[in-house]
Amino acid sequence: MITTSGLTKVYRSRGREVTALDGVDLHVREGEVYGVIGQSGAGKSSLIRCVNLLERPTSGTVTVAGQDLTALAGRGPRAGRELRQARSRIGMVFQHFNLLSSRTVQDNVELPLEILGKSGKERSRKALELLDLVGLADKAGVYPAQLSGGQKQRVGIARALAGDPKVLLSDEATSALDPETTRSILQLLRDLNRQLGLTVLLITHEMDVVKTICDSAALMDRGRIVESGTVSELLATPGSELAAALFPVGGDASGDDRTVVDVTFHGDAATQPVVSQLARTYNIDISILGAAMDTVGGKQVGRMRIELPGRYEENVVPIGFLREQGLQIDVLDRAEPQAVPAKDGAK
């Protein structure tokens, strides 16, 4: 639904060059919620603004719903008619809502319809329908200043949906909200994704957002996509930073003659009681140092850090047993540097 290839954005100011995007290839499938996560300055904002060409990419292409937007952009700095039409079919919600304080809630939702040249009757019908969809039917006549942050974002979402978009871009939509409101807004986005088949590309710096609603995720760092994939693909990737951050497990070995193992559950193995099976089969005492389990995309996934008595050499057989169960096993050993310490990934 959204594809970027070789997307590069370089800002030039007073002779200095800053590379915000450095060859970003992104592929968002139709109907999925795709999260791009990264620290501030990683290039997330530039990326999402390049998708609807609010920012002109220095090079590379952006395709949304089969339409090459970069080809529509033209040479000048101003957006031509075709690009503006394409933009009206892409909804966007913002961190600071960006509602017009001079207009009522209903008039704010009607604004994109005014731009599309719809008649007054059609505008108010559509606006009221959308306000009902986001649960604010009773607030049509009030001004944004009278609303709470969560309500403002609901208006922002209703406004973004006015042009019947297939794609919704969310620029840190929940970053200005408290945790509880964040959950309700994410739930709304999830519902809209399912009910309307809306493809959602969101950027965030909160791992919780990715964990709550994303089907796929990408990690950005210094203008590049470091990792990407569906959540279970990421979990299956040994040493994935995103997986480690989504399912952080901590805890150190309690002594020198112990083996610490990270067990990653994804797919069917997650339903098996493997730890107790392991203890029974080999008659060993297992300590659980840390665990993070969750339901992601309707599947039970997670990671667990366990400690086995004895050094690694003594535990080759039990570890082999775990691998046979279809689990992904990472052995943490201070003596062996090739093992991946999961903690470093937990940003």
Partner 1 sequence: MTWSEMQPLLSEASGDTLYMVGWSTVIAVVGGLPLGVLLVLTDRGGLLQNLAANKVIGQVVNIARSMPFIILMVALMSFTRTITGTTIGREAAIVPLAIGAIPFFARLVETAVREVDGGLVEAVQAMGGNTWTVVRKVLVPEALPSLISSATTTVVALIGYSAMAGTVGAGGLGDIAIRYGYQRFETQLMWITVAILAVVISLIQFAGDYAARALHRRGGDSSVAPRLRLLKNRTPATEAIASDVNRAA
The site for partner 1 (CB under 8 A) is made up of 52, 54, 77-79, 84-88, 90, 92, 94, 96, 98, 100-103, 111-112, 114-116, 143-145, 159, 162-163, 169
**Burial (0-12, 13-18, 19+ Cβ within 10 Å), 284:** middle
Beta strands 16-28; 2-13: pairing state = antiparallel
Shortest separation between residue 156's beta carbon and partner 1, angstroms: 8
In terms of CB distance, is 104 or 228 closer to partner 1?
Answer: 104
First-to-final CA distance of the chain: 30
For partner 1, which is the closer residue by CB, 43 or 112? 112
Minimum Å distance from CB 60 to partner 1?
Answer: 20
Q: How far is the CB of 52 from partner 1 (least distance, A)?
A: 6
- Please, which residue, 115 or 293, has the CB nearer to partner 1? 115
Q: Which is nearer to partner 1, 130 or 319 (CB)?
A: 130
Q: Looking at beta carbons only, is 8 or 98 nearer to partner 1?
A: 98
Task: Kindly tell me which of 156 and 223 has the beta carbon lying closer to partner 1.
Answer: 156
Closest by CA to 162, choosing from 120, 108, 199, 214, is: 108
Write down the least CB distance from residue 301 to partner 1, Å: 34
CB 307 within 8 A of CB 253: yes
Query: Would you say 90 and 112 are in contact if contact means Cβ atoms under 8 Å apart?
Result: no
Pick from 164, 163, 7, 1: which is nearest to 70 by CA? 7
- Number of C-beta neighbours around residue 59 at 10 A: 12
Nearest approach, Cβ of residue 287 and partner 1 (Å): 51
Cα 341 to Cα 320: distance, rounded to the nearest angstrom? 20
Tell me how far, at minimum, the Cβ of 204 lies from partner 1, in Å: 17
CB of 162 to partner 1, least distance (A): 8
Q: Which is nearer to partner 1, 16 or 78 (CB)?
A: 78
Residue 78, exposed/middle/buried by CB under 10 A (0-12, 13-18, 19+)? exposed
Toward partner 1, which CB reaches closer, 101 or 119? 101
- In whole angstroms, the minimum distance from the beta carbon of 185 to partner 1 comes to 17
The least CB distance from residue 226 to partner 1, in Å, is 27
- The smaller minimum CB distance to partner 1, of residues 169 and 261, is found at 169
Least distance in Å: CB of 340 to partner 1? 40
Q: Closest CB to partner 1 among 149 and 229?
A: 149
| Torsions phi, psi for 107 (to 5 deg) | -65, -30
Residue 211 Cα to chain centre, angstroms = 8
d(CA 36, CA 23): 15
